[in-house]
Chains A and B, each alone.
Chain A
């Protein structure tokens, strides 16, 4: 098969490209156009000149880079340690600790940072206990400042690193380590010289995702009061819209985020392409036991990590059911009033979340499954570009896409006088574009599992192409596709970057509600919505696991 054969295939092919060009490429091009032009539309570098000569922006850029590198470092140390312990060693509670890797899926980042503030903030549980019971005069500042951002991002992102490394580690043939043993390499040396280098492709992709996420996250810094980072600046400049110059700075920052993502993806692809070791045959790893001392250290480490990872959940839950919670370790009066307010009284958050995320999943399936099929089963021209585009979308932050959409679709559509940014459909669209890579990758790997010869065998006994598709291919891949779709849904209802830029009155989804309630000082309502969001995520994940039959993890990379 060299080209899509029939007219309808060509038509479908064009539709996919039209969607991608319109909703992925065009906004990105537009943001660059804006960044490189002035008010009058003339090409200019003056925006960048202003950015790079402004000491405030330079400091923000520097601090953002520093933060990104720091989070990559902390998540690497924790993430690799957890991954190695989980895959190479056997100790009591190993199965329980393996849930560490699924935590971020059921803890939306926005809710995570709120939860931390409730427990570790100035008037949070820990400080109240310290002051009441241990007589400490002033609250300790755990949260407000760069160290707070570092803490929240580390706890939120280390599982992403763990999953990437776990995936890579499980593909390293144990015989390679045994061979090192047989020529005399002892444990630490063996790990450094053999195991670690072999896991670098997985590690690099994990590190890139962590870096890009940290670099582009504006919510965490804003909640803990840090504004002099690039992403919060982009948000403030765009949303506050003080003057046109500032607005343009937001666009410049957004363009920088995109450039960064492209650079990193190119670097990663280069690196991973050269060093793909995973094609080796692999056998089962025998987990080793730890010495009693090491085992105690390992279990203490993992238990602390598990407890810290649960701080946000506890904090949000307490805040959502406590009335007038202040200056006590835990609330004294309990109520469900806030849940009533955010669900029965104004159901729009939940309804919008389901509606927009559901629609986004439909778009993902309509575009993503055929894309996966093109990648897996045809040699249609542009396949590599499709593949690269998918990776690029995965790497570009929601912040950048949100800003890009504001600029790109802010013109009246043909034959109407409203712009796309004034229609609610823009939210499902942006969600669909953001989640498209999950659907494509999920479906693609399911399709690869269906060996071509299985389909050929069916054709051989007389089934038509269409019958083959329905009788052989679909029964074998529907699970993978459904799991991918649910995963897209799960991450769509958590989305709190691109959508926050685009939401207008009446379109509020749950994360937008949490963010605006919190910023407006209504912490209890924010917490109640947070609990609802966690519950929805947990439920979706449960369904995904039931269908998939295993725990789902590595879809990040």
Chain B
């Protein structure tokens, strides 16, 4: 089922938790709302579930306006952050409850619940109470409870945030697999960018009630449209500058910064000479003290800090007073750590130097 969110606003008091958001989610898509806590992503999900009503705008399922439809009639499956399993019912009863409300026969209830328990790999645990299940198991029961009704839409509100790191990765993959198998339109809310990047078909990055960028994970990571997205997803170095020249043919920009002129990838054709911009370079795309070709951007600075991360070593390099550049050594096994104070040369290719508009 396709979901259209059309210019939707929801206010609490004078604060707009969701402000004029327009999004379209395609049939069978796993669409993630990503943003810091309090950004309005959960509010948007609850608007779709029907727990809140929009103050402005319209929500449509397959073109049908559903603003006034109560949550119990929307045919939505929802998984809550704290699982919200009813503690006075067994796992089986939790899953069967929605079927019972629909007056499904006893035998059919039993077979459907058993098959969905099979699906979430919890066959045989139906007679346990939620309190007797582990966090990961509770999470799967909550998922089974939503799936057993064959909903057209599945809503997941930070479903993994209450789980341990290892289990989180495991359940994450299971959710993804199940969602693809069932082909169910899914909206997923999280503040965890890694979760969003690995799971999603597309992501909407939300902040202060507004959508900052929508796109597949790769686009968001490699071509952020603005400083918030560039900063929120992954780690980035920012260098403010001014456009000197733009060459559409070579897809190159020349940008003047406080530490010299740089080359960047021309993505936004609207850049003209004289425009202010911000250059973004990710630490993993930069090199330390390596011979490079002439078109690479290169900077010099002094190491102020080295952080060993296991799979990488991250240097803080001071390029100018109060201008720190983070750069990763991606194979620290074979790297002699430079002492703090060492002078280094950093280089990076223009193809991974992104220019974005500086916000006014």
Contacts and interface: CB of A to CB of B under 8 A. Distances in A.
Contacts of A197: 86, 88
Contacts of A186: 70, 72
Interface in A178-226: 178-186, 189, 193-194, 197-198
Contact of B72 (A181, A194, A275): A181
A377 to B, nearest CB: 27
Nearest to B49: A182
Which of A181, A189, A280 has the largest count of B CB atoms less than 10 A from its CB?
Answer: A181
A198 B87 contact: yes
Nearest to B142: A179
A185 B97 contact: yes
A89 interface: no
Interface string B198-239: 000000000000000000000000000000000000000000
Given A183-B145, A186-B72, A175 B101 contact: no
A293 interface: no
A77 to B, nearest CB: 22
A222 B77 CA distance: 59
Which of A179, A185, A198 has the largest count of B CB atoms less than 10 A from its CB?
Answer: A179
A3 interface: no
A179 B145 contact: yes
Interface in B69-87: 70-73, 76-78, 80-82, 84-87
Contact of B51 (A178, A189, A277): A178
A175 B81 contact: yes
Given A183-B145, A184-B149, A178 B80 contact: yes
Interface in B83-109: 84-88, 97-98, 101-102
Contact of A277 (B70, B87, B149): B87
A180 B145 CA distance: 10
Contacts of A193: 97
A508 interface: no
B87 A184 contact: no
**Interface size class, chain A:** 20 to 34
B346 interface: no
Main secondary structure of the interface of A (DSSP, over half): helix
B86 A176 contact: yes
Contacts of B277: none
A228 to B, nearest CB: 41
Nearest to B98: A183
B87 A179 contact: no
Contacts of B155: 182
B92 to A, nearest CB: 14
A275 B88 contact: yes
A183 B93 CA distance: 13
Interface string B138-150: 0000100110010
Contacts of B73: 184
Contacts of B76: 182
Interface in B145-164: 145-146, 149, 155
A180 B85 CA distance: 9
Interface string B255-290: 000000000000000000000000000000000000
A183 B82 CA distance: 16
Contacts of A178: 49, 51, 71, 78, 80, 84
Which of B87, B102, B146 has the largest count of A CB atoms less than 10 A from its CB?
Answer: B87
Nearest to A281: B82
B300 to A, nearest CB: 46
Nearest to A186: B72
A184 B70 CA distance: 9
A280 B83 CA distance: 10
Given A194-B86, A275-B88, A277-B88, A180 B97 contact: yes
B88 A184 contact: no
A179 B76 CA distance: 10
A284 B286 CA distance: 47
A173 interface: yes
Contact of A183 (B51, B70, B88, B101): B101
Which of B49, B98, B146 has the largest count of A CB atoms less than 10 A from its CB?
Answer: B98
Interface string B173-202: 000000000000000000000000000000
B149 A183 contact: yes
Interface in A274-295: 275, 277, 280-281
Interface in B319-344: none
Contact of A179 (B50, B78, B88): B78
12 contacts: A176-B86, A183-B98, A183-B146, A184-B72, A184-B73, A184-B98, A185-B98, A185-B101, A194-B86, A197-B86, A198-B87, A281-B82
Interface of A: 173, 175-176, 178-186, 189, 193-194, 197-198, 275, 277, 280-281
Q: Which 7 A-B pairs have the closest CB atoms?
A: A183-B98, A175-B84, A179-B84, A182-B78, A181-B71, A175-B80, A197-B88
Given A181-B71, A184-B101, A277-B88, 19 more contacts: A173-B82, A173-B84, A178-B51, A178-B78, A178-B80, A179-B80, A179-B85, A179-B86, A181-B50, A181-B51, A181-B72, A182-B155, A183-B101, A184-B72, A184-B102, A184-B149, A197-B88, A198-B86, A198-B87
